[in-house]
Every structure is written in C-alpha cells, then in structure tokens.
Chain A
Amino acid sequence: MTPLDSLKPQERGRIHSITGSPAVVQRLAELGLFEGEEIQFLGKAPLGDPLEIQVGTTTLSIRKKDAQGILVQTLTQE
C-alpha cells in the first residue's frame, strides 16, 4: 500500500482508502475517486505539484496534499 503521489508516471493502482476532511473525501468521491476504483498516475506539473491522474475516462488534476491521503495498491502491468 502506497500513497498515490509515490506512483511512477503511467503506473496504475487500485484505491484502498481515502483519508482527509469530509469535504475533500466527498468531493473526490463525486468525481469518481473512491475505494476500489482503478486509477492511473499520469504525471506531475513542471513544479512538482499538482498531479495529473486518470480515473475511468476522466483526467483530473489533484494536489499532492490531497493525493497523499489516497492509499493505493499498485497494479502490475502485464
């Protein structure tokens, strides 16, 4: 289990848990980020923050601080 921001670019993971303030957790859920979902880490902004991720067909920008609360199970690519 690792925090989302420690994935490598293009690496995939499955969300294990999300911690943070209720407002943050709720907002992430509305956008499709919740337990059990598969996400792909696409890359970081040139200054290292925020991060670009893909959930389903949606590309999202998420701040490092919020990404650290998302624990993922790294998925090995076959």
Chain B
Amino acid sequence: MSLETKTFSVALIGNPNTGKSTLFNALTGLRQHTGNYPGVTVEMKKGECKLNEYLKLNLIDLPGTYSLAPRSLDEMVSVDVLLGRMKGESKPDLVISIVDAGNLDRHLYLTSQLMGLRIPIVLAVNMIDVANKQGITIDWKTLEQRLGIPVIPIQANKGKGLEELKATLAKVLMQEGSSPIHGPEFPEAVNQEVNRLREQLGNQVPEFLVQRLILDIDGHAQKHFSQDRPYLNDTLNQIRERLKSHGVAIPAIESKVRYGWIREQLKGVVSRPRETPVSFSQRLDQILIHKFFGTLIFLGLMFLVFWSIFSGAQYLMDPIKDAFTWLGEHVKGALPVGPFRSLIVDGVIGGVGSVLVFVPQIVILFGFIAILEDCGYMARAAFLMDKIMARCGLNGKSFIPLLSSAACAVPGILSTRTIENTRDRFATIVVAPLMSCSARLPLYFLMIYAFLYNPQKHSSWVPALYLFVMYCLGLLIAPLVALLLKRTFLRGETPAFVMELPTYKIPQIRVIVRRMFDSGWAFVRRAGTFILASMILVWATLYFPNTNLEGQSYETQIEEIEYRIREKKEAQGTGTEQGDSETDPEIKALEEQKNKLTEEWKGQSLLGRVGRSLEPVFAPLGWDWKLGMATLASFPAREVVVGTIGLIYGQGEVDPGELKDKPEEFELVKTLGEEVQADPLRGPYSTLVGLSMMVFFALCCQCVSTLAVIRRETNSWRWPIFTFVYMTTLAYLGALLVFQVGKLFF
C-alpha cells in the first residue's frame, strides 16, 4: 500500500426508484456496513470504494428522497450529513446525484437543491437503456456544459458506465479548488431576506438552512431552530409576509424557480417522441388496478405471500429445529450432569435455535417484498389498500407488514421500513403483534381440543370456527389501537400521501438475493443477542434451585431414571419397531416417576414459586397456578407454552408439531381436560378456562424477539415497553372479561 493513498468521503443521493442502491452495491461490493444515528430511525449504508491506487472513497448511501426540504428529524439526517453537521461524519468532499434518464426534469429538482450546498457534484444519469427504448435521446455534451457539472450516463444494473463514473470522481476529487456551480437563482428579494436573517442568527446557521427556514413553512428547520429562539416563528412569518408583498409566494416560489431553471437547461437537450404511446406500464395498470381483476390478482398474490410464510417456511424451519435438537442431545451426552450442561444445552443451544428458526420466514418474506418492490407492484398493492388502511389512521403501505405479522410479527415489523411516514410506521409496528401469528396456533389447538371441542357432541367445523374467531380478534382490535394511537401519542398533521407508481420492470435476481441475505443476517446479528440473553434468563429461573429439600439434585435423579428406562428398553431387544413403553408396565412406571419429578422440580423453581405466589392474580381469569406459570414462562416466546404445560402437567416434553397433526390422540389434551374438569372451582367452567387462555394469548405480546425488533426499528426503549404494557393489559382485561362475564351465562 502506498503512503500517499488518500481517502475522501462521498455521499450518494437520489429519488426513490432510481437504482441508487444498485449503484451503491456496484461501487462498494461487499465492503459495506450500516450506520445508525441516535434518535432517528433511518439507517445509512456505508461502504468503501477504491478508485485507483491512490484514491479510496468512503461512500455513504443517503435515504431516497424527492427533495432536501426536511419535514422530520429523519429527513433532517441527510441534510445534516451533507452540511457536515452530523457528529461522527465528516463533510462529504463530493456528492453523486443519481437521476433517472426517463424522468430527467423531475429528478433534477433534487440536483438543483444540491447545488446550493457548495459541494462538488457529479451527476450519474441512470437507466439510459429504458429511456432509449422509450425513444428519449439526450445530448450529453450540451447538458454537461449547461449544468456546469460532470454528467455520466450509466446503467447501474449492468455495470455500464461505472468505469467512466469512477474516473470522473477521481478527476474531480484531485482538482485543486473546484469551479463554483451556478444553480437556479431565486429573486433578489429572497436572497436579501436570507442574508438579513443569517446575520440575525449570528452566522452560525449555514446559508442553506437559512434559506430552508424561509422556504419551508413549519418545516423541520423551523421547529429545530425556534426551540431556543422563541422569536423566530414571528420573524419568519414577517419575512414571508414581506416577500408576498414583493410578489414572491412561499412555498410556490421554489418549484417555480427550480422547474423554470430545469426546463431552461433541458431545452433542446432532451428530445422525446411527440406523441407518447400508451406505455406498457399504463396498459398493465389497467388490469392490475382494475376493480375486479386487479382485486383478484392482489388477493391471490397476498395469499401466496401469507401461505409461504405460514406453511412454506415450515419446510426450512423444521430442519433447523431438528439440527439444534440433535446438537443439544449430542452435547448433553458429552458433558457431565450439572448447571453448566443445562445452561449450554437448554439455555444457549435452545436459545440460539429459537432465534435461528425465524430466519427462513424473514428471508422468504423479504424475498417476496424485494420481488414485488423491484418489479413495481408494491406501490400498486399500497394503492389498492390505501382506503381501508386510511380508515385506521394508517396508509396503504401498512398492509403488507400487517399481513406478514399474521404469520410472524418479526418479519412483519422489519418490513415496515417501506413506510416513509414515521408516525404511520410506528403505529403499524405497535399494532403488528396483535395479529395472530403462527406461534399462537399450538396453544389454540391445545385449548380447543382440551376444553372447547368434543368430537361426539360438536360438528367437525367447530375447531375452525374458534380459530377464525381468534384471528378476527386481532384483526378487529389492531385498527382500534392504531386509531387511538394516531389520535394521541402519534398525533400530527397527515402529510400528503403522494406515492410514485414506478414503471413496471423485470426484477433482478441479484437485487433480490442480496435483500434476502441482508435481512436474514441483520436479524441474526441484532435481535439475536437480546433474544439469547432473555432465553438464558428464563432457563435460569426454571432451573434453580435444582435440588429438593434433602439436597438431592433433580437432574441426577432424572438422569438415573432415564438411564434405567434405556436399560430396560435395550434388555427387551431392539427387534420391536413400536415404542414398547406403553405395553411394559415397568417402563411406564419409570416414565411416570420421571414426569412427577420434573413437575416437582419446575413447581419449586424460581419461576414456579412466582407462579404459585401469583395465583390470586390468575384466579379471576379462571386459571390455576399451573396454567398461570405456563403463561409466565412463555413471555419470552409464546411457542414454549404447550411444552411448558406438558412439563408442568407431568406429561414430559411434548412436540407442538404433533399436536397440530392429530390433536384428538394427544395425551396432553386428555390430561389437561380431565384435570381442569376435576377441579371443583373451575370444572363447571372449563370451556371458559380454555377461551380465556386463548384470548389472553391472542392479545398478549409474549415474544421477546418481537420486542427486540421493535427496540431496533424504533431506536428507542419507549415503544417496546409501551407495546408490552398495552398488550399485556389488554390481554388480562380480555381474559378477565371472558371468564367473569361468561360465568354469568353458565
């Protein structure tokens, strides 16, 4: 490496759907990472790009935006980075402005704003192939002369023009003292006001932001700077009044000046066919947005997405689960009995397994989202659903996250990133866990078959009806909560929901694979640590104390019994195919003894003691301490509830998967049903016990993964805590209502 290698920081900015990410990936390859900033939810990708032997770039990918007029803290981040006001980021030495060749006039709006920053700009004009196909021709040389900045035609997805772009970047960066850029000129009255206000503010505020203060009525700059300058709002109103009397209307002046300037520059430079034929996209839209066919195609696609997360992912999740079970068993065989072995097997391996098991669902969902987004359908889906979602105070883009959450809230919440409006996004995140996810199914099945459904008495569609009711519960309550939030904590002016419907194109496999990989990896890395920590915590509270009153270790005793069972089985020979434990009374007795011991151990563990002491809390819901404790134990991950009920009711470990396949034959269903019915207090109301459990699980946020992802996505502890508190309260009240009101009718 030469000593003279120089590193420059370069920012990449452009409208949404310009192929900005494609260009970023093409320039940086795999050398990239994500940057976070405190207090904001946006992330920016950063990467390195080597231009030549002597030049290296630190490239920062700013979020797609139509303009540099910040309306929120999130939008302000880009402006702060560009102005060098962001802590930990050096001011960019150059900006790459990427624009769409087919929409040059509209995309140059952002470029014209960049011209006010006094940073060298290189214009990368992308998608020249699409524009050529539409019959658009561009006179590159004249365009470059008129704009006064280098203009490079590229085709980012095919890697065309990248070498020219890199060479130009190197040339501009090595230039001593770049020539000033002449962008659009505002009327003199505006410039005078900018200078006067700048002096008044003490010259600390950059000229660019002073201009934004005047141009953006109630914009973020105004909110930010008026915090410690209460007089500023009045001053700005006076300035705007004065400008109005000079015939300069705010905010109309900006678009007038900028578009006027852009048209001037493009006159004679861009030529397009006089009579634009009805484009392929428009013709496709006539079908895809059609009242009947459009709705049908939409429903079909959504069903496919839902099915693939709900059922399709199972084929990938089962091997992961099996692999971890296998690993656990082998490690168990290799280590001596004791807390360390249990920590490794039940805590760490079990914990990591419960995190990794989500990966297939996340990767599949993001694969679909990448395809739908890349081909342009995503915006149409939001278009079709906007009216319904607007009724709940959300917007069309909330639909896919909520649908995905009906399979699993974790990928659902991750997919809210497509929602630009922060308030809508947070409202969607907070209500997403109310959708009945697939992890709730085993409990629903257990409760329905144990308490609610009797094959001799009821028709076969009764279980499906109960399931349907449970799904509807979330579907009905989520919009109410969203509406309430939008009227209280997330109140604010609704920004215009204007959405670009990009032209349809064939999705690129590279982009899709990359999105799938990135999303899966990001989840494992970020949520993983947190989930693992909480899994270990639950393990510990269920493990300790691990000895009975006489000081004997439960684990050793269980180990001994297991050893004797194995011995007995081996003594009978391996010739018999079926598990003979049921026929052999000795083995049966041993198994019973083992289950009883497990029950005793879990009952006196820390969590078990808490469960018992909290019995008065669960009693109004119709639960005994066992159901209460199982519920408590499933707060980190609700899918453990059936397993825990199995442990506590002395049925040993049970596989929830089996329960789904043939619930009638499931031993736990019988035991649980019989035991609760024999209970003098609850027996008569066993139906209500089942219902109240189901309602509780439907409404409660028993999923650390979800909370960890909410923490990540909102970049604050406030929202996961809020979600947990409101959902637990709702769940308790719901279950209480079911049991207490239900009792009146029995």
Contacts and interface: CB of A to CB of B under 8 A. Distances in A.
Interface of A: 20-35, 42-43, 45-50, 52, 54, 56-63, 66
Given A30-B66, A59-B503, A66-B498, 5 more contacts: A23-B496, A25-B252, A29-B252, A56-B106, A59-B282
Given A22-B217, A50-B383, A31 B498 contact: yes
A49 B109 CA distance: 28
30 contacts: A21-B493, A23-B495, A25-B252, A26-B216, A26-B254, A27-B66, A28-B498, A29-B254, A30-B67, A30-B69, A30-B109, A32-B109, A34-B256, A35-B256, A42-B282, A45-B289, A45-B384, A46-B291, A46-B292, A47-B388, A49-B387, A50-B497, A52-B285, A52-B383, A56-B103, A59-B502, A61-B379, A61-B497, A63-B498, A66-B497
B251 interface: yes
A18 to B, nearest CB: 8
Contacts of B67: 30
Contacts of B384: 45-47
Interface in B453-506: 493, 495-503
B281 interface: yes
A21 to B, nearest CB: 6
B255 interface: yes
Contacts of A33: 498
A62 B498 contact: yes
Contact of B387 (A31, A32, A48, A56): A48
B378 to A, nearest CB: 12
A3 to B, nearest CB: 15
Interface string B593-616: 000000000000000000000000
Contacts of A63: 386, 390, 496-498
Interface in B103-130: 103, 105-106, 109
Nearest to B103: A57
A70 B384 CA distance: 22
A55 to B, nearest CB: 8
A6 to B, nearest CB: 18
A63 B108 CA distance: 25
B298 to A, nearest CB: 9
Contacts of A26: 69, 216-217, 251, 254
Contacts of B497: 50, 61-63, 66
A49 to B, nearest CB: 4
Contact of B218 (A23, A46, A66): A23
B495 A45 contact: no
Contacts, number: 128
B255 A34 contact: yes
B289 A46 contact: yes
A31 B294 CA distance: 26
Interface in B55-77: 66-67, 69, 71
Nearest to B105: A56
A60 B379 CA distance: 10
Given A46-B289, A52-B383, A35 B496 contact: no
Contact of A23 (B252, B256, B493): B493
A22 B218 contact: yes
Nearest to A55: B106
Interface residues of B, number: 49
Contacts of B493: 21, 23
A48 B250 CA distance: 32
B130 to A, nearest CB: 11
A25 B250 CA distance: 10
B102 interface: yes
A13 B379 CA distance: 24
Give the interface centre of A26, A33, A46, A49 by most chain B CB atoms within 10 Å.
A26
Interface string B288-312: 0111101100000000000000000
Contacts of A43: 285-286, 289
A66 to B, nearest CB: 5
A50 B386 contact: yes
Given A42-B282, A59-B503, A61-B379, A27 B386 contact: no
Contacts of B387: 45, 47-50
A10 to B, nearest CB: 9
Contacts of A47: 384, 387-388
Contacts of A35: 252, 256
B495 to A, nearest CB: 6
A47 B390 CA distance: 12
A23 B386 contact: no
B103 A59 contact: no
A57 B500 CA distance: 11
Contacts of B259: 32, 34
B501 A52 contact: yes
Give the interface centre of B102, B496, B500 by most chain A CB atoms within 10 Å.
B496
A29 B498 contact: no
Contact of A31 (B106, B218, B388): B106
A47 B336 CA distance: 65
A35 B256 CA distance: 9
Nearest to A50: B386
Contact of A59 (B281, B495, B496): B281
Contacts of A60: 498-501
A67 B85 CA distance: 37
Pairs A-B, 8 closest by C-beta atoms: A29-B255, A22-B217, A24-B496, A47-B387, A59-B501, A30-B67, A61-B499, A49-B387
Contacts of B294: 46
A54 B282 CA distance: 10
A74 to B, nearest CB: 20
A62 B109 CA distance: 20
A31 B254 CA distance: 12
B329 to A, nearest CB: 54
B386 A45 contact: yes
A60 B103 CA distance: 13
A52 B216 CA distance: 27
Interface in B9-24: none
A14 B13 CA distance: 31
B500 A31 contact: yes
A43 B501 CA distance: 13
A45 B380 CA distance: 9
Contacts of B217: 22-23, 26
A41 B254 CA distance: 25
Nearest to A49: B387
Contacts of B295: 46
Interface string B246-272: 000011101110010000000000000
A58 to B, nearest CB: 6
Interface string B181-220: 0000000000000000000000000000000000011110
A57 B15 CA distance: 14
B66 A23 contact: no
A61 B495 contact: no
Contacts of A46: 289-292, 294-295, 384
Contacts of A29: 251-252, 254-255
Contacts of B495: 23-24, 27
A17 B418 CA distance: 31
Contacts of B256: 34-35
B386 A62 contact: no
A30 B258 CA distance: 10
